[in-house]
Structure 1
Amino acid sequence: MEFILNLLNWFSQNILQNPAFFVGLLVLVGYLLLKKPLHDVFAGFVKATVGYLILNVGAGGLVTTFRPILAALNYKFKIGAAVIDPYFGLTAANTKIAEQFPDFVGAATTALLIGFGVNILLVALRKVTKVRTLFITGHIMVQQAATVSLIVLLLVPQLRSSFGVVAIGLICGLYWAVSSNMTVEATQRLTGGGGFAIGHQQQFAIWFVDKVAPKLGKKEENLDNLKLPTFLNIFHDTVVASATLMLIFFGLILSILGPDVMSNAEVITSGTPYNPEKQAFFMYVIQTAFTFSVYLFVLMQGVRMFVGELTNAFQGISSKLLPGSFPAVDVAASYGFGSPNAVLSGFAVGLVGQLITIVLLIVFKNPVLIITGFVPVFFDNAAIAVYADKRGGWKAAVILSFISGVLQVALGAVAVALLDLASYGGYHGNIDFEIPWLPFAYIFKYLGLAGYVLVCAFLLAIPQLQFAKAKDKEAYYRGEAQGE
């Protein structure tokens, strides 16, 4: 018995609490089950593990670069700041969990595995659960598992126990399965029967847009009839888009803070203070802003590296276990089925909505300054515009992507305050983590464990309601869009 306890303790300390090696182990096991050659199994383990270690380098760089700015903002204006972006949110959530809940450092990674298992089970029992989709977008699952872990651990104290990780995995799996299931009809309608669903950050929003867009405009009056400026095409490049956004926002913030504050060693106790003898301040501003983009790029490369292996392992297992199910994939897969102008118009209009709301937060002296991030402003609003344009034309696309931009900032500020993330510099920020996850968080806060159970029951009820509303029950399982 002592040997088994020692073995479990070793596994917990060295694997479960070390996400890089746990992810590598998942890939190794997955490839072994798929009967891949041993050299491919080893290569997959190495790439997955190293990829996660690269992610840690990027995340650490973001923290190191952002903390001096947070300290300066608090010193000069007595406010906190947070970037609404899932990569910044991932870093903030993991950092806060490590500081406040050290026993749950590996919770998100374990919850990811449990959640994926829950999703598989729900699809396997689809005649009962009415769930048809398997969420396989691995990097999104990593981000969301971290944020959900923080929400549950912080707001449901009863789950800070050995059962807590299971509870986090359960609700992650429910959300992945149910939210992606909500996008089946909308995506089938958009793609003309493309055979996939969306597993990203805006599934609830896609369902809502598909229902509301026809009431806001005519689908015949679509964005193909509008001419957009050609210069917007540069924002198709992630590096250019993120570096430009970081330069605008952090450049403005650093310029307002000024060289005196940023060179004050008593204020900038973390990181390296600005040295006016070595560098002009405007060059320091540009370098700092671009450094954010560098670490964000490093983080994203690490994510792509290990997720590529993780997704292959998941897909192989799911295709053997769940034939006929719908894969829930990255929302970018939908872009090729809409108007070419929808992606850029959604990005532009959503950004305008965000900027206006940020100005209002400053005018009304909100204690948290929200800084826009690339992923929500691009992917959320682009997706909303694509689906809205297909159903309600350019009017629906403009109205709904603008509203999304407003909600991302306004509700992001509420979420940062609720989760006390201002000192950690980030929040998830995508539209689904404003609605429904922000209301879920408040339910957890005020109802505790009962609230957790209530949210789980709510998620389970959604596909039952979808099925009940379907006129053709067999067509529901085939994913056929019924009615307009």
Structure 2
Amino acid sequence: MELLTGTLEFLKDILSEPALLIGLMSLVGLVALKSPGHKILTGTLGPILGYLMLSAGAAFIVENLAPLGLMIEHGFNIQGVVPNNEAVVAAAQELLGVETMSILVLGLVLNIVIARFTKYKYVFLTGHHSFFMACLLSAVLGATGLEGAQLIIIGGFLLGAWSAISPAIGQKYTLKVTDGDEVAMGHFGSLGYYLSAWVGSKVGNPSDNTENIDIPEKWSFLRNTTIATAITMIFFYVISAIVAGPEFVSTLSNGTSPLLFAAMAGLKFAVGVAIVYAGVRMILADLIPAFQGIATKIIPNAVPAVDCAVFFTYAQTAVIIGFVCSFIGGVIGMVVLGFAGGVLIIPGLVPHFFCGATAGIYGNATGGRKGAIIGSFVNGLAITFLPAMLLPVLGELGFANTTFGDFDFTVLGILIGQAGNALNMAGIYAILLIVLLALVIPNFVKTKSAALNNYTTEDEDNRKVRGA
């Protein structure tokens, strides 16, 4: 038993590390293509180093967002719950560690099986989000009375299925975002991004693209994304520092002048974004060609589903617009909850940056500037109200002071929790049946593409012509 637990722990460490998972997939693809040894080496290390660079940039962003959140909470005297995936996971791991690891391993294996034998050809490569989802499933399913092998099998199936289904749901929108790159969304905030894209299609015109904003010559420096990000974030930080007051800010700045500390934090944030962009370019440069080996030799027509930050380079102006508008939506949602007498969900800057930015990119792809603004605003409202609805479910598990922040976690947590509470095991089995039918039925229906909702044969031919 100890050996089994140790093996599961080792596998969990590997499979929950996105850099290694992406590198492993790239290695398999290159070997399948019978690439020469030097190309296998560089093609495997490239995505690993790229993802580590992306992670370093993301960590730098998160590190510099923390004082901004504290200044906002103190300056505006806000008390409530800040949605935080990591906090819930840390608490749940103490109770359900082995179950979570087992669900993670089974879920990743079933994702590959589903991609091989159904039309959901999407291979989910964002390992840490798979780990978060395994944790949510173990906690919510455990609260319904499931335990042992039954808990692991049902949780693993749901994880593997949603890992393949969620990229497919909005792939038609992802194709608009990437304009030809063969990737899918592999992030469990996906429903929020697709909602933003749908809203964008109703309110705007994709030709009015955020990246085509006409900027006068004297303001042309704003076309440099790093500089534009720095200026925007310095404004945010300095205003927050002024409102919080020098006495409080000095507790965060280690003796540095409060305003200088705020300005430097804004500049560091921009550097973090630049590092993310550089890492994304490294990932895509090697992963997409290598993945063709998997798509042709192992899982025909497979599509890699990658982290939301990978999409930041496709619409860099929309990233900032999405963050700001999502955060505004979060603030308004918090005020509404306050007036309604509910628990205040304080806008978490990490989910509003990463999820809000991605929602802005998707809204822009279908509705241009209006789509980016309104779509990400709606996303901000959603990731405020949904965590508030999930809070009672998690509260019953002893996690009353925190909640998941991303869209998919909250939706699945609410659905499974409510189904289990209302119908007991019958509710869980009903969800399993619906998911199973969703996986199987497309296999018996003629679709335009081998990978559900992906490029049609005609689209693929056009892409090859453009590539030539």
The reply to whether TM is greater than 0.5 is: yes
1:370 and 2:365 correspond: no
The answer for the alignment partner of 1:381 in structure 2 is 360
* Alpha-carbon separation, structure 1, partners of 2:347 and 2:157: 31
Amino acid in the other structure paired with 1:459:
V
The answer for the alignment partner of 2:433 in structure 1 is 457
TM-superposed deviation, 1:291: 7.1
* Alpha-carbon separation, structure 2, partners of 1:199 and 1:72: 31
Structure 1 residues 115 and 51, CA gap change in structure 2 (3 angstroms): same
Give the alignment of 1:8-157 within 5 angstroms: 8-12=4-8, 15-16=10-11, 18-19=13-14, 31=27, 34=31, 37=37, 66=66, 79-82=79-82, 89=85, 91-103=86-98, 107=101, 111-126=103-118, 131-136=119-124, 138=125, 141-157=126-142
Q: Is this contact kept in 1: 2:345–2:388, CA < 8 A?
A: yes
The answer for the alignment partner of 2:384 in structure 1 is 409
TM-superposed deviation, 1:174: 0.9
Q: Is this contact kept in 2: 1:182–1:463, CA < 8 A?
A: no
1:223 and 2:233 correspond: no
Q: TM-score, normalised by structure 1?
A: 0.63
1:177 and 2:172 correspond: no
Give the alignment of 1:259-270 within 5 angstroms: none
Amino acid in the other structure paired with 1:384:
G
Secondary structure class of the residue paired with 2:448: helix
Unaligned runs of 5+ in 2: 458-468
Q: Is this contact kept in 2: 1:93–1:146, CA < 8 A?
A: no
Q: Is this contact kept in 1: 2:238–2:262, CA < 8 A?
A: yes
Amino acid in the other structure paired with 1:79:
Q
Q: TM-score, normalised by structure 2?
A: 0.65
Structure 1 residues 25 and 164, CA gap change in structure 2 (3 angstroms): farther
Cα deviation code 1:61-113 (max 9, x no counterpart):
96899599779969x96824426xxxx63x33443334444546x72xx6555
TM-superposed deviation, 1:322: 1.5
* Alpha-carbon separation, structure 1, partners of 2:332 and 2:294: 46
Which of 447, 450, 460 is equivalent to 1:477? Answer: 450
Unaligned runs of 5+ in 1: 264-272
Give the alignment of 1:237-252 within 5 angstroms: 237=225, 241=229, 244-245=232-233, 248=236
Give the alignment of 1:421-432 within 5 angstroms: 427-429=404-406, 431-432=407-408
* Alpha-carbon separation, structure 1, partners of 2:417 and 2:234: 29
Secondary structure class of the residue paired with 2:82: strand
* Alpha-carbon separation, structure 2, partners of 1:212 and 1:412: 21
Q: Is this contact kept in 1: 2:50–2:280, CA < 8 A?
A: no
TM-superposed deviation, 1:379: 0.9
* Alpha-carbon separation, structure 2, partners of 1:69 and 1:331: 22
Cα deviation code 1:395-431 (max 9, x no counterpart):
666544432232233334444665467856x8443x4
Structure 1 residues 217 and 309, CA gap change in structure 2 (3 angstroms): closer
Structure 1 residues 121 and 294, CA gap change in structure 2 (3 angstroms): same
Q: Is this contact kept in 2: 1:201–1:380, CA < 8 A?
A: no
* Alpha-carbon separation, structure 2, partners of 1:39 and 1:262: 50
TM-superposed deviation, 1:151: 1.8
Structure 1 residues 44 and 337, CA gap change in structure 2 (3 angstroms): closer
TM-superposed deviation, 1:32: 7.3
Give the alignment of 1:143-222 within 5 angstroms: 143-157=128-142, 158-159=145-146, 161=148, 164-186=151-173, 197-201=184-188, 203-204=190-191, 216=202, 222=207
Cα deviation code 1:33-61 (max 9, x no counterpart):
93785996799699959977996998699
Q: Is this contact kept in 2: 1:204–1:432, CA < 8 A?
A: yes
* Alpha-carbon separation, structure 1, partners of 2:194 and 2:320: 21
The answer for the alignment partner of 2:464 in structure 1 is none
Structure 1 residues 63 and 207, CA gap change in structure 2 (3 angstroms): closer
Amino acid in the other structure paired with 2:7:
F
TM-superposed deviation, 1:180: 1.8
* Alpha-carbon separation, structure 2, partners of 1:206 and 1:124: 26
* Alpha-carbon separation, structure 1, partners of 2:180 and 2:283: 31
* Alpha-carbon separation, structure 2, partners of 1:198 and 1:70: 31
Q: Is this contact kept in 1: 2:323–2:353, CA < 8 A?
A: no
TM-superposed deviation, 1:386: 0.9
